[in-house]
Structure 1
Amino acid sequence: MTPVSSHAPHGQSALRTVQVLGGGNAGSSAHVRSLAAGLVARGVKVTVCAPAETERIHDFTGAGAEHVDVARSSDPVAVAGLRAACAGADLVHAHGLHASFRAALALSGRRERVPLVVTWHDRVPAEGPRGQLLRVLERRVARAATVMLGTTPGLVDHARRSGARDARLAAVALPGPRPAADPEDTDRRRPKIRAELGATGRPLLIAVGALERQRGHGTLCDAARVWRDLDPVPLVVVAGEGPLRSALQRRIEEEDLPVTLAGRRDDVADLLAAADLALLPGRHEMGSVPARQALHAGVPLVAADTEGIRELAGDAAELVPADDAEALADAVVRLLGDAGRRELLRANGTRQTAGWPTEDDTVAQVLSVYDELTQVRTFV
């Protein structure tokens, strides 16, 4: 696709957009960074509202956008800050459930109606009181959004069931891992990353995801007990933060499991590129950003067999029954001993991602939605 030099016609003010992020999802943050760069290159003014830590990691200002520090909170102070940042915007685009809920609050009660575009990148259903709260938030967001974009057909269907008036499939591309363009650089970086993690001379297994019950880290720890008997013992590195950190760390220490909790990382693509296998044991994965990152990085993926993962990965992943630690352990042991199968999964992943949207495709679709929703703007 040939880039457009300027989106605004001669004599017309540039489109002013606000991108709202919660700061908790590295994949959606990387997507917004890429989207901001593409929009700015086409003459669109972009403001990214996100926590300061997210700006530090993703450098939205380096992409030509303005950054406004907005906390990941729905308290009145944070919402007021977001409302101020959205003043004068032609359109607001929020990414993820919590960010879009805050955006809906910030835009409510305004005299002039500002279009709200919402992108859902993934969804992890919850049960009990938290699940009920999330469903309430989903319905509120779906009804407030002018257009909802979902990264998979399943997410689009869920948006419609939640009350969305206009739900569409999003052409969302995750930026490829930085080393992919330079194989020699990849070869140099891989041993350094493995040494840093303590995986020299042993298999490295990477799991990416928040430390929450639905992500299957308990199943992962159960499987890791089997891997202790391998020689050499594989190291499992979990990139992510969440409320289960203390409980998981206590279990790892008490059972002497070969698992390291690495916390939130800003180099997930590099970690995956250095791994022998990527693991995704969660039973509730829809439009999974970690799965997309793993396939982009060209690492064989072992994942719980869910509709979302089957839809996303096709034959590029080794699928196991959800919540089945024995099946997960067996699949990993089998793959570690079968270089041919690992290479086949890599090849299948390369073929699968080749059909995914490019970053230019993403910008083009988003701009078409923006144009559809915005009226003729004031001439300068």
Structure 2
Amino acid sequence: MKHPNPTSADERAKRMLDPGFGKVFTDHMVTIRWSEGQGWHDAQIGPRQPFQIDPAASVLHYAQEIFEGMKAYRSGNAVTLFRPLENSARFARSAERLAMPVLPDDLFIAAVEALVRTDVDWIPEQEGATLYLRPFMFANESFLGVRAATEYMFCVIASPAGAYFKGGAKPVKLWVSDDYTRAAPGGTGAAKCGGNYAASLVAQQQAVAKGCDQVVFLDAAEHRWVEELGGMNMFFVFDDNTLRTPPLGTILPGITRESILTLAAEQGLKVEQAPYDIDSWKADAASGRLKEAFACGTAAVVAAVGEIRWNGGEQLVGGGVEGPVTTALRDELTGIQRGSRDDRHNWRHTIAL
């Protein structure tokens, strides 16, 4: 069902001039229900509006909730997604980890495509801007008891987003947390669930108080090994042409991360997924063995790291400026996403309008 009173073209254009990130939303949303016995049913697209849920809804008490982050790009006269089946697969793994029903790939893709087609006029045309897509699912059964719910709501909403870095990408400063960890073996670190992000916020506040942009989390067991940021994966570039990223297990398996591993190998780097301890990071940055470091994720794509800070010290990385490997990988990846470079891996998914 189309919105009975959609945003006017003039008002839409005004909101999209400087949308920021996650502040402006399109007119519609997709919803699909799941219940024990019926499975997935009642799929519909309609006006974006508040949910009406009971105060005893399971998600409010036991946090059964997962989500994904995706983007729709204008590519000439076409609209494309980037590796949406990977988002669907990760959504399924997150659902399994949180004892939630798995949404089939075809339903996931159909829901995203339906919203993009309906709200296609909300896709920005400015350089670096995209339509950010947020598929999510939550438990909406009304009960108080520690068990998996028997009713769930899947939804997709969309938000026009400007360039993540205004005025161009700038190296970020990172705070190494001594007080908090993000995940532990056997936990939910590899699932994209809201609880992981809620638990990271106090550490992120600490980072901002220390004059940094993001927080670096270390492992829970030894508090030594670099894992990831609050919402991004980490990469390190060494003077022997090696690109290293922490191994999966307790960290989120980023789709941007996986894509960079592939592109880096094609560009001649020696790629490895291996542990890297914080003391080595400090020493290698000081000696120059570590030439570059960068973080990656759907929102920012690739962000160079210019400095790390910790209790008692700080150290520039790569002289505090973005290095050539970081630039080359970001340019290649964003070029593929936006259609200006060859898509030799068939990562782009075109939506029929």
Both proteins in one fold, TM over 0.5:
no
Normalised TM-score (structure 1) = 0.30
Q: Which has the higher helix share?
A: 1
Normalised TM-score (structure 2) = 0.32
Structure with more contact order per residue of length (Cα contacts < 8 Å, sep ≥ 6): 2
